[in-house]
Amino acid sequence: MTTQNIKGTIGILTGGGDVPGLNPAIRAITIRALREGYRVVGIRRGWAGIMEVIRDKKADNSQNFVELTEDIVNRAGRTGGTFLHSSRTRPSHVPLRLVPDQYKDKYKAEVNDLTPEVLKNIDFIGIDFLIPIGGDDTLSYSVRLYQEGVKVVAIPKTMDNDVPGTDYCIGFSTCITRTIAMTNLLRTSAGSHERVLVIEVFGRYAGFTALLPTMAGAANRCVIPEYKFKIEHLTELLVQDRLKNPSKYSVVLVSEGAAFEGVDMMFSNNERDMFGHAKLGGIGDAVSAKIKDVSPQFNNGRRVETINQHLGYLVRSGDPDAIDSIVPMAYGNLALDLVLKGIHGRLVILKNGRYDNIPVDIVTSTKKLIDINKHYNTERLRPVYESFIDKPLFLV
């Protein structure tokens, strides 16, 4: 394909946390786009790659973007993670210490908006359509670029499954599958030692990654960010569950964003990323410790010991499962369908079991959380199991 025959250039980037399914999405877009006559450029390290471009034809920008071929994407297409790498960069809020060297003379504030440079870099690379794959943070900046005139078609990705407007985000199914499998593995130790098994899982603002495995039978109880819980209430339920179990153990899944009644989220340190998020950590440890302290009240004066496990990156690593192999392929093709029609400013979605697309600015106009009145029993601290008629696959 000669330069004269190229219909346009499509840029692809992945931002935020890695999940299985990103590489299949990149592959689906690239292979079809190339066959349709487009040039495809992979932006490295999310918004960081496009922000750090050196606008000089002689400069080495290999760490910022790469031209994609079928060979490149085929090698990575069935694997987990993202071969384009990722970051939590937000070009509209760049701390002074992270301003690229080529811009330091121009941007000297404590926090800088480098969007004007990003727009120039998009033109420098020659990108006609930009396809960002990410969660609400990554996609919120794509809304900014769309408002600045960039032709954006976005793809939702996050194992928390909390991007508004869609029932499904890439990475969620593999996360749930891994959580169920690992919880079941840990049951043997919990049963052997007759303990309460406390497992901390991801979920900053939305508790889907705790709710769905519990609904599937992986745990007796779950605590989620949408509802602040009383530790005495949780402990009483878990002690009852343990006593009813022939193997004398019980299991609770704890979202990392869950919080005790009257207490805010727990953070591992005071550092914040460019989106203003501090690193969460410690709620699983705190729940485990408090269960041991409180348990004698509900166990005839005897303390119940715990096993405390943080699944962390284990649930987002490795190869994608079946859903996270199929949906990314479909999302990639949906995005390219829009590009071929000249349509932009859209987010590809799954809604009520069918693929569709909606305005991308939904990402910044609303939040997607568990409706505790419909899906979470605050007395039992577990999912509501009543009628499933007309409910979505993942109760969202």
| 340-379 tens-digit pLDDT | 999 999 999 999 899 999 999 999 999 999 999 999 999 9
Query: What is the chain's mean pLDDT, rounded?
Result: 93
Give the pLDDT confidence of 277-325 residue by residue, as tens digits: 556 668 999 999 999 999 999 999 999 999 999 999 999 999 999 999 9
Identity of the residue numbered 270:
N
Q: Is the pLDDT of residue 386 over 90?
A: no
Instruction: Provide CB contacts within 8 A for 222, sequence distance 6+.
Output: 207, 210, 211, 213, 214, 252, 253, 254, 255, 381, 382, 383
Give the pLDDT confidence of 213-256 residue by residue, as tens digits: 999 999 999 999 999 999 999 999 999 999 999 999 999 999 99
pTM metric for this prediction: 0.93
Asked if 162 and 368 count as a contact pair (C-beta separation under 8 A), the reply is yes
pLDDT recorded at residue 234: 98
pLDDT recorded at residue 111: 96
pLDDT recorded at residue 349: 98
CATH 1.10.3720.10 correct for 173-315+372-383: no
Q: Is the pLDDT of residue 1 over 60?
A: no
pLDDT recorded at residue 274: 62
Percent of the chain having pLDDT more than 70?
Answer: 94
pLDDT recorded at residue 387: 79
Q: Which CATH class is domain 3-170+318-365?
A: alpha beta
Q: Is the pLDDT of residue 383 over 70?
A: yes
pLDDT recorded at residue 273: 60
CATH 3.40.50.460 range(s) for the chain read 173-315+372-383
**Catalytic residues, which ones?**
160
Number of neighbours of residue 227 by Cβ within 10 angstroms: 16
Secondary structure of residue 84 in the 3-state scheme: coil
CATH 3.40.50.450 range(s) for the chain read 3-170+318-365
pLDDT recorded at residue 107: 97
